[in-house]
Structure 1
Amino acid sequence: MEFYQEIRPHRLVVTGSPGAGKTVLALELLLALLDSRREDDPIPIRISAASWNTNLSLEKLLIDQLVDAYGLSGVTARHMVETRHVLPVLDGLDEMDTEDTPLAESRAAAALEWCNSYQDGRAGSSLVLTCRADYYEELANAGQRILDAARIEVHPPSSDQICAFLIRRVKYPHRWQAVTNAIAENSSETLTRTLSTPWQLTLAIAAYDTMGDPDDLLSITGDRALSEHLVERFIPAVTQLSSRRNKKAPYESDDVTRWLAELANYLNLNAGNTLGGRVMSGTDIVLHHLWPLGGHRIPRLVDATLAVLAAVPCCIIVYALSPHSGRQGITILAYTMAANIIFASIFYSRWWPHPQRLNFRRMGSRSGFRSVITGLLGGVSMGFVAALLFGPAIGLVGGLLYWVTYGGSFGLTGDIKDDRVEIEGPEGPLRHDALSALLFGLTSGPLYGLSVAASADSLIFWATFSMTVGIANGATAGALFRSPRIAVIFGLFSGLASGISQTYTSDQVSGDLTAFLSAPAFALLVGFVILARASRRYLSFLICMRGRLPWRLNRFLRWSYNVGILRASGVAYQFRHLELQDWLAQQAGSHQHSPDSHA
């Protein structure tokens, strides 16, 4: 870190051979900068270069990363980037293109151009970049490199360093005596070359420290054969070690290999492709971005179907308990299904639903406070009018329902408008999304039930119900299209249409029973349909992948991280090394096809 702080400008390129420890060194620098960070220092953010759509500038990449991965608002993210309060740590420039991509047409060359245009005044802005040494040399010879940047290269360890590392890390050093002797005497060039990177050393220790005979390494000839042998033994070894620690293996090694191969093959096939305006990463396993693995259409269709099925009970229960007859009941149900089909088409058209974030600090932000106050004023206004027309009970409950549904849900969820970046791990976004939906579903459901119970006749009930339909539909449309105008228009239209159709087609409603049953139905509507969009898409993906991936995928990925197969980078899991990912992808076979590209 001292070296980085001394260079001017703070632009550093870390190069080295595959498995030399470039990413580890960059992460060590990132953590050291965070530990010593002062108030005005930039916040280091690691980004996988493979996920960069180089049609967009580095500034836009950073803004999108802050919004998508860390929950900041677009305004706050843009301010942080423009004032250079973000230090990009771009990892894996050499992973952006395939081997046959010409340098002049490569995304890596475009990325370097964007990095050079990333300025702070007349000087280059701070950044850190990692790349394989030979690939960076090719780019530099073609006139593409980071200007005004210091470069360090991670060199392989010496024979003495390899032996010392092995003796320190293994449980039974005497079992490795023949291996260390061969390395020290350089009697096995294959073994010495292969174990000259931290990654291969880690594989060797994991594969042979608790099972097998390390002397077997001496009989394998050829660098490639030895590397593949170590990778092949890695997953069975860590699975067996996990079973010893926990007395029972949570997964069989064959299942672990098959599931990880599915994910690795998906990453390799999708690297660099564009789907729904997003460049697919070849390294990042993000839970709420995995759904294309189940196909481009089926998960979205299942998502839309689940949304419709969750919305239907709220309407069916109310309609079923009203004394409809014949054609009137069919008309209402047809209206309901038509509305649900419209919503289904909206959910189907959304490629990448954003997770909601429940964060009480947002109440102190300008946007959160404005949402709460707007909801409160709207609730007071609606409650006052309803109290004059229908009595104080309905006015109070209706006002509270509006305030909680609108002010509370959008005041506590959504973007966080401050400059504190929180890294909560790969499961954080979906956990926030589900908690947001649960909280406001459980809050708004009982309030809606009370408003139904307080209704004395059909006119009052359907006025309350139509108001709720308008708010829910307007909030959903506004959140989906991120447009207040669409929210107002769709909310007013659906609310008025609902009120008019139901006033003319319904009689007295059975209040108590309707209230009792409609409360959980409305909770499901608000929570599962309106707010839990990313969680619902993830659930749809799991349904589509039954038999190909474990049902509790997040638990499996967490276990893979704990045993060292995966690593965590912000909201993404990644394979410990690209060599492991490539080997697993080969195990998956070539029967799968790459998704179609979409602009």
Structure 2
Amino acid sequence: MTNELGTRMRQLRKRACLTQEQLAELAEVSVSTIGRLENGRLPEHRLRTLQKVAEVLNVKPEEWQRLTATLDGTQPALADPAEVLIPADTRGEPTPAAQPEEPVPTGQPGEPAPAVQPGTRTGAPAPAAPLPAPGTAVSWPAGPLADAAASLAREVGRRWQREEKHRRVHDPFPLPVRYQPAPAVLMDRPENIQRLQPGVPARELDLNGDLRTVADTYRSVESQRLVILGRAGSGKSILAIKFVLELLAAPASPLRVPVILSIGAWDPLTVTPRDLLVDHLLRDHPHLARTTSEGATLAAELVDSDLILPVLDGFDELAEALRGPALEALNATSHPVVLTSRRDEYARAVREVHAPLVLAACVELADLSVEDLAAYLPRTDRLGNSLGSRGATGVWGAVLDELRAYDTAASIQLGQVLGTPLMVTLARTMYSEVPGNDPVELLDTARFPTGRHLEEHLLANFVPTVYRHRTPERADPARGQRNRDPEQAERWLGYLAHSLATGAHERRDLAWWRLGASVRLPIRVLHTALLGGLCMFAANWLVMLFAVSFGYIPSVQTSVILEVAVFGLCSAVVFGLAHCALAAAGRTVAVPTQVRLRLAAVTPGVEHRPVREIRTRFGVGLLGGSVLGVAHAWTTAMFRALAGTVPRADLIGAALQDTLALALIFGLTAGLTFGLVAAFEAPVDIAAAATPMRLLSVNRATATRQFLVLAAAVTAGLAVCGRVVVGLLQQVLPWTLVWPLDEALLLGAVGGLGGSAAYVLALTAWGQWLTVARFWLPLTRRLPWDTAAFLDDAYRRGVLRQAGAVYQFRHIRLQQHLARVHGGSGRGTSYVKPGLRRRASEGRASPEAVEDLPGGGEIIPPP
């Protein structure tokens, strides 16, 4: 049936006098999609993709019926594709496109359409398929791609449900995050947003709502492109999470899987939005690295098949010079997207490119009102004497009375600060959950003359508050959950935040495999060289001790010890040069492996690494092994010259023979070994990257298996490749070469153990984590010795959050504050002891006296 459909589509394209490239451009799909469609190699046809192509080809109704009749039996052949493309509105009213009195074209094949000339575009692009309203029966076609989309949807839903629970969004109830239409200059024209044909009047957009209605608001936007604006801490990320969960919880399966990704580190000048989304999927969902019959990964196929709805969080966190190019890159497409940003940063980008996000509606989050605070804050106080009393305000009574008055400078200032969920959460943590802290001090304008001082006060005391001393449970299952010194924790977190601020622009993603990048490049080169030299030196000694103990070598000579030391030094130079080469190519930071070693990976029907990846691994191994072989040959020649075992006349010739032979032997062995390992690699399971520590555990197991396989393969490979290479060289060249099996095995053991250990420890993500984050950074007191447990503990305390395979600070404001405090750590600490703060608020000590107390002063950076 797929071959029949491909034949029909090819005939229709030729009838329209269009090439595949022209059809792909007009239908706004990729050329590869058209090719697979016509060759019958696209078994999972999406009705929307077929619809877009059919519109361009001006397919008649009877032709459309024949096309849909050839689809897979699991995909119903609908006589009216508008049933899927334009579902009923979520409020139960028909959409304008479905009203008979307004003949708006639905895009169904067979309806009159403007004439399409080869190489030109139609008058208006086809609207994207809307998400189904609740209750609409829509399903993906069966097949591997549909299974990948369904499993991705389940994993995304579980992940963000867990994160929403961890953030205590529903404790005691969600803050009322409301939104309203943004100014008209920040959104496209209504007729463009509604994808109307010329002459059709636009209806009024209803863009008012809150957390409970954000999914319905998005469904009412025909273009399915939405921008969410709000000031820092206003709840944009929480709204995005709620939006994703609402879409995934709808009774009908969504046509696209919503995926949240932070774009603060995106460089739109070098990475397209499509590649950004594919890379994100591969990082957080390694099972999508499986390849299809076309050679593309499942992640790329999901994106190219329009099965992913990107929710781009943090547009304002892009470098200022990159916001304009980023907006232009997004405007070059019409695919559905949700974008969050602060208003001022987005407005400047709009002015820079002279256009908002095309086809996009835009909403703006409103501040919390005093009534919202009065309903929320008293219910978070579970420490007061009034607990259990109906309507009691607890410690917040005096503050709320002042806010209700709203006629003083202090109440106005505090009301503005507490207008965002972020500051309300910080205030709740500091005053509702710590005995003895009195929020009345927030009304002290002498101590906090501006709102910026109030915000810095709440940010500065958040970390010390959550790290306050607590009695641990006797059987606490949480790893790393123990009392830590608040000042030490703040210093370590400050270093992590500061490491994210280094580079071209500030990053949000705190990835365990990038912690080594915070160390200066010369130190990293020295670190790699030392690891390589030490591993080869240790492997030499282990093999020699083994040989002496079993009688292969009578004793260890002094010259042998020196030769081992020099060979270790040469190996260190080789590994150092390799790191410099990687630095020149911008690849010094190893990324986590997305594969595992499986014998079944080479069997038919099981996903495995593409042939080009195996060839690349073989080439890299061939080059690295050849360099190591040359180093070994000249090290041996140097010691032969010093020992006088070879006549000077024959020394150069022997060195050249060894150089050629060992370069070929070492190079072929390393190349074949790395290629073999690549052939046995298969993508990891879907749950492998559920959390950063889970991904770390998977990489540790993979690195261990890689070491064992590489060591055994190199040991055997040197013996076999040596015998083959020596035999061939003796037939081609007039040389006399020998390759004894016992010596070959000893040399192979040295190369296998030393080279494999150096590779795993210096050039893999887990190895860099082990040697840098677990040893070097704790040794220099920049991180604790139990780094993994510390990160997990910070997540449990609410300082960090999990975003797939990486951590992020709870908010960019907290990250920036900790980085700033770390940069000026020599000035003191931002921690104010709770007891001293309480006495100051009660009048027994002035704020100035508190600031003068040793170790108890508060550093407030100038606003």
Q: Shared fold by TM > 0.5? A: yes
Query: 1:250 corresponds to which letter in structure 2?
Result: N
The match for 2:134 is: none
The match for 1:381 is: none
Give the counterpart of 2:577 among 336, 345, 367: 345
- Aligned partners of 2:414 and 2:809: how far apart in 1? 24
2:789 is equivalent to residue 544 of structure 1: no
**Structure 2 counterparts to residues 412-491 of structure 1, below 5 A:** 413=681, 423-442=689-708, 463-464=719-720, 466=722
After TM superposition, give the deviation of residue 589 of structure 1 in Å: 2.5
The match for 2:507 is: 282
SS at match of 2:608: helix
After TM superposition, give the deviation of residue 541 of structure 1 in Å: 2.5
- Aligned partners of 1:25 and 1:10: how far apart in 2? 16
The match for 2:490 is: 257
Give the counterpart of 1:139 among 349, 361, 366: 349
Distance 1:438 1:522, change over 3 A: same
Give the counterpart of 1:151 among 362, 365, 388: 362
2:792 is equivalent to residue 580 of structure 1: no
Contact 1:423–1:570 (CA<8 Å) still a contact in 2? Answer: yes
Distance 1:308 1:41, change over 3 A: farther
The match for 1:185 is: 405
Q: Deviations over 1:23-78 (max 9, x none)?
A: 11112222333445977733333222211011132112223323344334482133
After TM superposition, give the deviation of residue 197 of structure 1 in Å: 0.8
**Structure 2 counterparts to residues 477-556 of structure 1, below 5 A:** 504=738, 522=752, 525-526=755-756, 529-530=759-760, 533-542=764-773, 543-545=775-777, 546-556=780-790
SS at match of 1:549: coil
Distance 1:439 1:328, change over 3 A: closer
The match for 2:425 is: 202
The match for 1:45 is: 259
Q: Which one is further off, 24-33 or 283-292?
A: 24-33
Distance 1:215 1:84, change over 3 A: same
After TM superposition, give the deviation of residue 563 of structure 1 in Å: 0.6
The match for 2:92 is: none
The match for 1:112 is: 327
Give the counterpart of 2:442 among 217, 222, 226: 217
SS at match of 1:240: coil
SS at match of 2:807: strand
- Aligned partners of 2:253 and 2:350: how far apart in 1? 36
Contact 1:303–1:348 (CA<8 Å) still a contact in 2? Answer: no
SS at match of 1:147: coil
Query: 1:257 corresponds to which letter in structure 2?
Result: E
Distance 1:326 1:34, change over 3 A: same
Contact 1:405–1:440 (CA<8 Å) still a contact in 2? Answer: no
- Aligned partners of 2:741 and 2:421: how far apart in 1? 76
After TM superposition, give the deviation of residue 437 of structure 1 in Å: 1.6
SS at match of 2:467: helix
After TM superposition, give the deviation of residue 163 of structure 1 in Å: 1.1
- Aligned partners of 2:534 and 2:698: how far apart in 1? 23
User: Which one has a bigger Cα radius of gyration?
Assistant: 2
Q: Deviations over 1:316-354 (max 9, x none)?
A: 433562538787887787667645643442244331222
- Aligned partners of 1:249 and 1:301: how far apart in 2? 35
- Aligned partners of 1:28 and 1:233: how far apart in 2? 28
Q: Size of the alignment, in residue pairs?
A: 504
2:398 is equivalent to residue 166 of structure 1: no
Q: Deviations over 1:84-104 (max 9, x none)?
A: 22222211111112xxx5xxx
SS at match of 1:297: helix
Contact 2:673–2:710 (CA<8 Å) still a contact in 1? Answer: yes
- Aligned partners of 2:256 and 2:781: how far apart in 1? 45
The match for 1:595 is: none
Contact 2:273–2:329 (CA<8 Å) still a contact in 1? Answer: yes
Contact 1:434–1:535 (CA<8 Å) still a contact in 2? Answer: yes
Contact 2:311–2:339 (CA<8 Å) still a contact in 1? Answer: yes
- Aligned partners of 1:2 and 1:304: how far apart in 2? 58
After TM superposition, give the deviation of residue 193 of structure 1 in Å: 1.4
- Aligned partners of 2:720 and 2:253: how far apart in 1? 50
The match for 1:13 is: 227
Give the counterpart of 1:367 among 583, 586, 608: 608
**Structure 2 counterparts to residues 233-244 of structure 1, below 5 A:** 233-240=461-468, 242=470
Q: Identify unmatched segments of 5+ residues in structure 2.
A: 1-214, 385-392, 583-587, 616-668, 827-863
2:279 is equivalent to residue 64 of structure 1: yes
Query: 1:186 corresponds to which letter in structure 2?
Result: Y
SS at match of 1:567: strand
Contact 1:308–1:344 (CA<8 Å) still a contact in 2? Answer: no
2:591 is equivalent to residue 354 of structure 1: yes
Distance 1:368 1:502, change over 3 A: farther
- Aligned partners of 2:378 and 2:469: how far apart in 1? 20
Contact 1:358–1:412 (CA<8 Å) still a contact in 2? Answer: no
Distance 1:465 1:577, change over 3 A: same
The match for 1:88 is: 310
Contact 1:115–1:146 (CA<8 Å) still a contact in 2? Answer: yes
Query: 2:301 corresponds to which letter in structure 1?
Result: H
- Aligned partners of 1:129 and 1:282: how far apart in 2? 18
- Aligned partners of 1:518 and 1:585: how far apart in 2? 47
Contact 1:560–1:566 (CA<8 Å) still a contact in 2? Answer: yes
Q: Which one is further off, 311-320 or 332-341?
A: 332-341
- Aligned partners of 2:564 and 2:788: how far apart in 1? 41
Quote the RMSD (CA, aligned, Å): 4.3
Distance 1:107 1:443, change over 3 A: closer
Q: Identify unmatched segments of 5+ residues in structure 1.
A: 119-123, 274-279, 375-400, 452-460, 471-491, 593-599
Q: More relative contact order in 1 or in 2 (CA 8 Å, sep 6+)?
A: 1
- Aligned partners of 2:534 and 2:742: how far apart in 1? 26
- Aligned partners of 1:252 and 1:128: how far apart in 2? 41
After TM superposition, give the deviation of residue 506 of structure 1 in Å: 6.5
Q: Using structure 1 for the length normalisation, give the TM-score.
A: 0.72
Contact 2:532–2:571 (CA<8 Å) still a contact in 1? Answer: no
Contact 2:703–2:764 (CA<8 Å) still a contact in 1? Answer: no
Q: Deviations over 1:527-575 (max 9, x none)?
A: 6625871112223333432211112222211111111111111222121
**Greater share of helix residues, 1 or 2?**
1
2:269 is equivalent to residue 55 of structure 1: yes
SS at match of 1:9: coil
Contact 2:719–2:744 (CA<8 Å) still a contact in 1? Answer: no
The match for 1:561 is: 795
Contact 1:91–1:129 (CA<8 Å) still a contact in 2? Answer: yes
Contact 2:688–2:695 (CA<8 Å) still a contact in 1? Answer: no
Query: 1:229 corresponds to which letter in structure 2?
Result: H
